[in-house]
C-alpha cells in the first residue's frame, strides 16, 4: 500500500521557492535603491554606494544564474567608479563585458570603463573603450561620448588632434551643453603648443558662456596665466586684482601671481609684501628669495628665505631648487672672499689664485645665476687686473660669446673676438675667435 505525501509539504516547498525569489528580488531592489539615493546630490554618497555594492555582491554570490546578475555587475562598476575605486570598477565592467556581451548595459559599461581608464591616465585604453562604446551608443549619449574622447586626446598629449577634434565637435554639435568645457580643452591644448594668443581667445569665448558658471574662476586664472606668459604684465596685474570670491584653497596661488606681476613691473617691495602673509608656504618663501636675489641683489636675505623654503620640505622640487640657490650664493660668497685673501701665499701664487677666483666668479654669474651683464662685468675685471694670467684669454672669449649668443650684439661680439685674436694670438681661444669673426662677417 502506497503512502501519500501530505499536501502541506508541497505547499511548503512552493512557499519556500516563492519566499526565496522574493528575498533575492528585494535584495536587488534595495541595491538599486541605495545607488539611486546615493546619486541624488552633486557629490555621491559613498556610504550608500557601499551598501549598494554589498547588496549586489549578495545577488552575484548566492544567485549566480539570476537574470539580475548583469545589472548587478553594472551597478557595482558604477558605484566603484563614483567611489573613485577605479581598479574595482574596471574589474566589474570587464566581467560584465566578458560574461554578458549581449547585455543591454554593454554600451554604457564601455563608456564608463573608458572614463575609468582616463581618470587613471591610461589614455590609450580609454580611447579603445570609447571606440567600443560608439558601437552601442544612442544618439543622446554621443555628445558626452565624443567629449570624453577629446579629453582622452588631451590627456595623452596629442594636442594637434585635440584641437582638430574640438573644431569638428563644435561643428557637429553647435549647441552642445559641453561647449564651455571643450573650449577650455582647446585652450589647454593651444597653451601646450605655445599658441597663447589663440588660447586666450578660447578662454574668453568660454567665459562668455553660462553653461558652467562654476568654472568661471578657473577660466579667469587661465586667462591671467596667459597674460603673464605673453608679458602683458600691467594687464595681468589688473586682471588678478579684479578677481572676486577667491576660493580659500587658491588664495596663495593668486598672491604668487600678483607678486610676479609686481616684480615684473619693478615693484619688488610690493611683491614681497604680497607674499608676506604666506610665510608658511614653501613656494611663497622661495619666490621671496628670488626677489631679494634678482631684484635687490640682497644675497644674504635671499639665502635666508631659500633656507626657510628648503626646511619646509627638503625632498620636494622647490626644496631642491632652494638648496641649489642657497648653495650657489654660498659659493659666490666664497669666491668673493677668496678674491681678496692674499696674506697666506707668495705674490705670484696669490695673483694666480685671484685670477682663477675672479674668472670662476664671472662664470658663476653667467652659468648659474643667469646674469650675463654681471658676468661680462666680472670677466672684464680679469682682463683689467690679471691680463697676464691664463684666464685672461678665456674671459675675453667668454665676453665675446655672451655678446654674440645671449645679447645678440654682433658689433660688440666682433670687437672682443678681435681683441682675443690680437692680444692672445698663441692660444686656442684665438683660433676659435678667428672662426667666429669669419662667421659674423
Section 179-203 average pLDDT: 96
DSSP, res 146 = H
User: Using CA atoms, how far apart are residues 59 and 55, in angstroms rounded to an integer?
Assistant: 7
pLDDT at 177 over 60: yes
Q: How high is the pLDDT of residue 23?
A: 54
pLDDT at 42 over 90: no
Q: How high is the pLDDT of residue 325?
A: 87
Q: Per mean pLDDT, which of 31-40, 114-123, 193-202 is the most reliable?
A: 193-202
User: Using CA atoms, how far apart are residues 393 and 425, in angstroms rounded to an integer?
Assistant: 9
Query: pLDDT confidence of 17, banded at 50, 70, 90?
Result: very low
Q: How many CA atoms lie within 13 A of 368 on its CB side?
A: 16
Q: How high is the pLDDT of residue 344?
A: 46
Q: How high is the pLDDT of residue 240?
A: 95
Section 169-176 average pLDDT: 92
Q: How high is the pLDDT of residue 74?
A: 95
Section 38-45 average pLDDT: 90
Domain layout of the chain by residue ranges: 27-137, 371-440
| More confident call, 213 vs 341 | 213
Query: What's the mean per-residue pLDDT of the chain?
Result: 88
27-137 — its CATH code? 1.25.40.10
| More confident call, 9 vs 370 | 370
| Cβ burial 164-189 (10 Å sphere, 16+ → b, else e) | ebbeebbeebeebebbbbbbbbbbbb
Section 262-288 average pLDDT: 94
Q: Angle at CA 54, nearest 5°, toward 52 and 57?
A: 110
Q: How far is CA 8 from CA 18, 19, 264, 384, 436, in A?
A: 15, 16, 93, 119, 111
Q: How far is CA 386 from CA 8, 210, 350, in A?
A: 118, 69, 11
Q: What is the pLDDT of residues 300-356, one digit of tens each?
A: 899 999 999 999 999 999 999 999 889 888 877 777 666 544 444 455 676 777 788
User: Using CA atoms, how far apart are residues 366 and 369, in angstroms rounded to an integer?
Assistant: 6
Quick check: 184 and 203 in contact, CB under 8 A?
yes
C-alpha grid cell, residue 196: 597663447
| Cβ burial 391-418 (10 Å sphere, 16+ → b, else e) | bbbbbbbbbbbbbbeeeeeeebbbebbb
How many other β-carbons are positioned within 10 Å of the β-carbon of residue 196?
Answer: 18
User: Using CA atoms, how far apart are residues 7 and 119, in angstroms rounded to an integer?
Assistant: 60
Q: How high is the pLDDT of residue 11?
A: 47
pTM over 0.85: no
Q: What is the pLDDT of residues 94-153, one digit of tens each?
A: 999 999 999 999 999 999 999 999 889 898 898 899 889 888 877 667 888 888 889 889
C-alpha grid cell, residue 292: 631679494
Helical axes 372-385 vs 391-405, angle rounded to 10°: 150
Amino acid at each position: 500500500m502506497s503512502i501519500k505525501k501530505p499536501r502541506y509539504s508541497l505547499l511548503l516547498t512552493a512557499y519556500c521557492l516563492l519566499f526565496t525569489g522574493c528575498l533575492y528580488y528585494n535584495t536587488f531592489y534595495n541595491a538599486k535603491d541605495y545607488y539611486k539615493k546615493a546619486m541624488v546630490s552633486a557629490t555621491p554618497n559613498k556610504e550608500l554606494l557601499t551598501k549598494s555594492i554589498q547588496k549586489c555582491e549578495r545577488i552575484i554570490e548566492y544567485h549566480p544564474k539570476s537574470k539580475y546578475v548583469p545589472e548587478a555587475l553594472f551597478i557595482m562598476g558604477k558605484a566603484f567608479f563614483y567611489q573613485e575605486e577605479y581598479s574595482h570598477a574596471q574589474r566589474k565592467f570587464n566581467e560584465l563585458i566578458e560574461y554578458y556581451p549581449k547585455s543591454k548595459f554593454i554600451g554604457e559599461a564601455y563608456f564608463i570603463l573608458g572614463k575609468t581608464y582616463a581618470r587613471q591616465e591610461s589614455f590609450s585604453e580609454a580611447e579603445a573603450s570609447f571606440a567600443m562604446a560608439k558601437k552601442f551608443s544612442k544618439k543622446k549619449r554621443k555628445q558626452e561620448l565624443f567629449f570624453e574622447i577629446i579629453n582622452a586626446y588631451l590627456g595623452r598629449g596629442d594636442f594637434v588632434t585635440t584641437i582638430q577634434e574640438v573644431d569638428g565637435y563644435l561643428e557637429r554639435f553647435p549647441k552642445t551643453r559641453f561647449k564651455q568645457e571643450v573650449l577650455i580643452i582647446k585652450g589647454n591644448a593651444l597653451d601646450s603648443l605655445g599658441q597663447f594668443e589663440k588660447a586666450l581667445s578660447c578662454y574668453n569665448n568660454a567665459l562668455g558662456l553660462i553653461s558652467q558658471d562654476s568654472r568661471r574662476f578657473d577660466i579667469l586664472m587661465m586667462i591671467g596665466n596667459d597674460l603673464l606668459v605673453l608679458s602683458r604684465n600691467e594687464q595681468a596685474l589688473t586682471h588678478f586684482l579684479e578677481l572676486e570670491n577667491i576660493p580659500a584653497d587658491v588664495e596663495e596661488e593668486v598672491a604668487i601671481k600678483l607678486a610676479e606681476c609686481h616684480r615684473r613691473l619693478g615693484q619688488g617691495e610690493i611683491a614681497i609684501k604680497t607674499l608676506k602673509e604666506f610665510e608658511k608656504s614653501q613656494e611663497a618663501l622661495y619666490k621671496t628669495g628670488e626677489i631679494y636675489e634678482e631684484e635687490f641683489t640682497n644675497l644674504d636675505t635671499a639665502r635666508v628665505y631659500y633656507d626657510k623654503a628648503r626646511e619646509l620640505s627638503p625632498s620636494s622640487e622647490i626644496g631642491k631648487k632652494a638648496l641649489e640657490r642657497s648653495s650657489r650664493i654660498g659659493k659666490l660668497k666664497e669666491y668673493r672672499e677668496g678674491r681678496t685673501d692674499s696674506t697666506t701665499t707668495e705674490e705670484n701664487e696669490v695673483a694666480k689664485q685671484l685670477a682663477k677666483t675672479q674668472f670662476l666668479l664671472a662664470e658663476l654669474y653667467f652659468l648659474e645665476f643667469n646674469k650675463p651683464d654681471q658676468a661680462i662685468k666680472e670677466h672684464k675685471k680679469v682682463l683689467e687686473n690679471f691680463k697676464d694670467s691664463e684666464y685672461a684669454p678665456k674671459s675675453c672669449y667668454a665676453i665675446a660669446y655672451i655678446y654674440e649668443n645671449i645679447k645678440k650684439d654682433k658689433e660688440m661680439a666682433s670687437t672682443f673676438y678681435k681683441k682675443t685674436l690680437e692680444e692672445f694670438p698663441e692660444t686656442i681661444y684665438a683660433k676659435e675667435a678667428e672662426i667666429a669673426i669669419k662667421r659674423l662677417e
